[in-house]
Every structure is written in structure tokens, then in C-alpha cells.
Amino acid sequence: MATHLVWFRNDLRLHDNYALHAACRNPDAAVIGLFIVTPGQWRQHVMSPKQAGFIFEHLKALGAALAERGITLHIRQVDDFAESLDCVKQFCEQQQVDALFYNYQYEVNERGRDAALEKTLGRDVVCQGFDDSLLLPPGSVTTGNREMYKVFTPFSKAFIKRLHEGLPECVPAPKKRGDAVFHEDFSFDFPREKFDASLFPVGEQAAIAQLRTFCLEPVARYPEQRDFPAIEGTSRLSPYLAIGVLSPRQCLHRLLKEHPKALGGEAGSTWLNELIWREFYRHLMVAYPKLCRHRPFIAWTDKVRWNDDIKMLEAWQQGKTGYPIVDAAMRQLNETGWMHNRLRMVVASFLVKDLLIDWRQGEHYFMSQLIDGDLAANNGGWQWAASTGTDAAPYFRIFNPTTQGERFDAEGDFIRHWLPELAGVPGKQVHTPWGWAEKQQQTLDYPRPIVDHKQARIATLEAYEAARK
């Protein structure tokens, strides 16, 4: 009897899992699963302890769900990707595996690992890889010259045109194949932190339920509510997409089931656009591998002379800059491992354009904290904010952090939630608390602004213009 092995990576789900579905096509084959913990690689990639905890809990949930269907999930631990290849080879020999099934990952190290996989296994094991974590494979949405789009809007239009021609299909979860057991007591030599399960409940069914609830009503209100952090106006699905508890196809099909005209620009189209941004950054990463190596897309921006003030960086990291909307956002990140998308742009702009600190410092810190850490999306967002990436904000576009707070948290509800030291500052005055405190002859347990925005703006423009010459 044939033995099929599914190597799980960032695809921790039963439903709509291309590799798992393909492995189970032959009803007579024995199917087993493998997940390899690589602490050394995770440290190199700056995985956050909260994301590690999220993966740990979902591995337990996946193992139990697979066992119910007669598939045993095996957990192994080695240091890095290089060792994982030897681990897979030994496992295949021990289990007499005939065919290996896995879903592609698109980062440089991961692609290198997979390229070496067939050589490592030789002719004894047939390898089958699948484009599973994207709606459309990298390289399938290109210009007339068959090049990757460098601007999002034409990419999005071409992408939607492809979806009109045919939607990527969702595949069902495997049927029960027999009996299996999953042992939850497995090794995990990497720091794990607890996460708020009320914000991010564990399990594939919980993620699917959250997707369905969001697509029923909130997705129609998403265009009006998504920029206001005090409102629960976003999906909070990014952690599930990052580790593959949900697939983007599930998101697309559920959206179109509830809002069939989303592809035509009607209700649901704004959130669909966010899914396409996710695709755009992943397609770019494959077309331009330097993005995985901390290089800017726009070469001249590497000549910007950055500020290396450690105290300013630490003030930003700790949420002690004296700019309330920035500090509230950073404290949300530090406590929950998640940050509202509008605020990700605000704090990134502040670090780069107000403090003139290298965007890579921010990219690194985000990855070290995010429960939804994803290299392509994180890098794309930071390069957009820093004006170093493709289709990025022009370098002379600089957010005013006070104005951003006044616009998107007008009454300061979000700010007061995360900055209790400003609880006594009334209404809109919370955006400029020191001005209020001086008029009221009050003392605040809150730092004064570490930089003057107007002066910082001038210095940043000068630094970018000097780098362009």
C-alpha cells in the first residue's frame, strides 16, 4: 500500500488545503502528516513569541482534527531549514513514503529549501508542490511585456479580470480514512507567549466562523469603518491567513457568496482590494527576491542617511514618543501582537519620516511582535510608508501624527483605552495633551513630544533629496 506524506508549513488547516487534498485522492493510500519546528530559522526570521504560541495551539488543533479523519500528524524539531531536509529524508525512509505533498512558500530561504528537496529525496519519493497560499500563482498576472506590475492599480485591474475569467476552486477537507492518534505532548524549543483568545480564538472552525460573520454584514460597512481604530471595523483574519488556518480562496468565495457583485466594484469590493494587496506583495517578492533580503525596491533610497538614535527608537517601540495616536498604537501592538491597519501606516510614517530612523528597524520590530507576522505584507507595508518600495507613497508625503489622531480617533476613545495616563484629558484635547495640561496647570505622567513634527518634516525632506542627487 502506498504511503503519502503531507509536509505542513504555513497551511495549518483541513479545508481547502491543496497538498492535503491531493495526498488523499487515492482512497487506498495511507496518509500521514509532518510539521517541522525550526527554532533557529524562526529566530533568524524574528518570529514573535505570540505568533509561535498561535502556531503551537493550531498545531494541537490540527493534529486532533486530522486524527479524527485517520491521519496522524507527526511533529519533529530541528534547528533550521537545512536540517529540515535531512529530517524529511529520514522520516520518508522510516515511514516508507512513496509521495510527498506540500504547498509552496515564496520567501527566498523557503524557495531554496524546496528547490533542494527533490535532490535530497532522489528518485525514491515523488514530490508534488502546489500554489496554495495565493488566489493566483506568482507570475500569472503580468503586463503586456510579461513583466511583474510595479504599480498596484493596474495589477489589481488585471487581477480582477483574471478572476472574472475563472475563480480558483476551493477543495474539500479529507474524508475519514481510518483510525489515528495525535500525541499533543511535542517539543517546541522556541519562546511562546499567550495571546488574547477572545480576539483570536483558536481553531479552524473558529476562523471560518469569524470569516462568515464578517462577510455577512461588517464587510459592507468596511469602507466607512476600517480607518477608525476605536470601532471594530476590520476582519481580524490576518493571523489566520499568515499561518494558513484560512486560505485566501475561502475568503474570496465566502465574500462572493454574500456579496456577488464585489468583483464589479460593489459591496465587498474594498475588502477584496485588501486581499489583492496581499497578493501584490507576494507576487512582487517572487519577482524581486531582493525584497526578502532587506533591500529597498527604489535603489537610491539606500543612500538616505538615517538617524541611529537608540533612545528615540526605544521611545517609539515602548509607546513613549509624546504623540498619543502613535503611542496608543504601539502599546496595542506590544500587548496584543496586532495593530489596526491605519495605525500601522501612522506609526511607520512617524518612525521613518519624523524620527528619520531606518525603516528596516521598524520592519524588524514589527515582526518580533506581530501575531500576524508575514514577510511580504510587512515588508510591503514598511517600504510603502518609507517611500522606498514599488508604488509607495511619494517621499514628500509625510503624515502629521497629530492630524492623523484627530481625523481617525476624533474623541480620543482609542487613545484613552491604551494610554490610561491621559484618561483625564477631555475630548479632542487628548491629541495635544500638554497644551491642555499647561492651561489647566496640570502635571501629566506622559512624555513630552520627542521631536517637533514641523522641524522633523523639513529634515526628512532634506535627507531624501540629498540621497536622490
Residue 70 sits at φ, ψ, to 5 deg, of 85, 20
Distance CA 373, CA 366 (A): 8
Beta bridge partners of 102: 7, 129
Listed in sequence order, the DSSP H helices in 29-151 are 39-44, 49-68, 81-95, 108-121
Q: Which three cell numbers stand for residue 231?
A: 470601532
| Residues in contact with 412: Cβ distance below 8 Å, sequence separation at least 6, in sequence order | 324, 405, 422, 425, 427, 428, 430, 431
Task: Please tell me the number of Cα atoms within 13 Å of 362 on its side-chain side.
Answer: 31
> Environment class of residue 147 by beta-carbon count within 10 Å: exposed (0-12), middle (13-18) or buried (19+)?
exposed
**C-alpha cell belonging to residue 21:** 487534498
Active site members: 274, 277, 306, 341, 359, 382
What is the DSSP secondary-structure string of 228-257?
Answer: -TTS--S---HHHHHHTSS-HHHHHHHHHH
Cβ-based neighbour number of residue 467 at 10 Å? 15
| C-alpha separations of 432 from 149, 180, 457 in Å | 42, 61, 18
Distance CA 122, CA 402 (A): 60
Which residue type is seen at 321? T
State the alpha helices, DSSP H only, in 288-351.
310-318, 324-336, 341-349
> What is the rounded (10 degree) CA torsion for 161, 13, 84, 118?
-50
